[in-house]
Structure 1
């Protein structure tokens, strides 16, 4: 009986020791502070395509930017998942449903949650809330809300030249 108990405990310890490493490799990437998974802000077109994580959107984007989707999150007609600038590289990444910031904000979060997560939230001249990205002073998050909930979440370079 004791030998069996030791074997079970040893097996449990093995499983427990393996679980955190497994969780790290299967954890869903977050949007920010530097990008989404292998796709990083500022990454050039060739390097971004080399990740195998994006696909070109026909007709997506206007000069000087091209529109792309994250393969894992196709956006459908007349939308893109990210813009790549000829000058700046990956410049804008749009969160898709299920993607969250490291602070836990995503599509469907309330603006109250956004304000709690980002106390330095400001409002742009065009009326949308935005904030600098914690741990990345070269980027910002923008939030488009409707009825008090986030409907669109954007991670972008401060110097992006793709969207207004």
Structure 2
């Protein structure tokens, strides 16, 4: 049978999707005696602190073991950040677990204020359920006092009177979300 391929092809290349890979991973964990609950508990236990909690929520005080206002020394002491650039008043860093790529930084550390701004990695939600990809309608519902008078919408962070959420959007959808000190001196 000539189907346009040279030679006999006995095997067909199949691209597996995420659900198949997740199922295979779960099966492998079951074979080794690791349950999802014990793996989750171990993972949550390692990540749980006053910053993230077991849920890994973005805010109100920080994310990924890094808190707003931490000094440079304290933030480095977490061993969860890696330096990207140093320029003037502030330096740019990434969370090791969420690298931003060549042209970005995941957080800014001010010489004066410490950790001043943390960018939300994709998929991470605020306690109010807002994340990159949320609609501005959802943002306005979650943060009724949203201030839209500046260059980008800003909302006070429930539970942290010293912080703000910044929302950058395009065509009604959030493409960037940040948690920042109200008096941060690193970005405009």
Q: TM-score range by the shorter chain?
A: 0.7 to 0.9
Paired residues, what number? 143
- Structure 2 Cα separation of the partners of residues 157 and 123 of structure 1: 18
Cross-structure match for 1:70: 95
Residue-by-residue CA offset, 1:118-148 (whole Å, 9 max, x unaligned): 111011432x111110010100001000111
Contact 2:65 2:78 (C-alpha < 8 Å) held by counterparts = yes
- Is 1:43–2:70 an aligned residue pair? yes
- Is 1:133–2:157 an aligned residue pair? yes
The structure number with the bigger radius of gyration is: 2
5 Å-filtered alignment, 1:7-46, equals 22=41, 24-25=44-45, 27-46=54-73
Give TM-score scaled by structure 2 length.
0.71
Cross-structure match for 1:158: 182
Structure 2 gaps of 5+ residues are: 1-36, 48-53
CA RMSD, aligned part only? 1.8
Give TM-score scaled by structure 1 length.
0.81
Contact 2:64 2:80 (C-alpha < 8 Å) held by counterparts = no
Contact 1:32 1:155 (C-alpha < 8 Å) held by counterparts = yes
- Structure 1 Cα separation of the partners of residues 56 and 150 of structure 2: 31
Moved over 6 A (4+): none
- Is 1:53–2:80 an aligned residue pair? yes
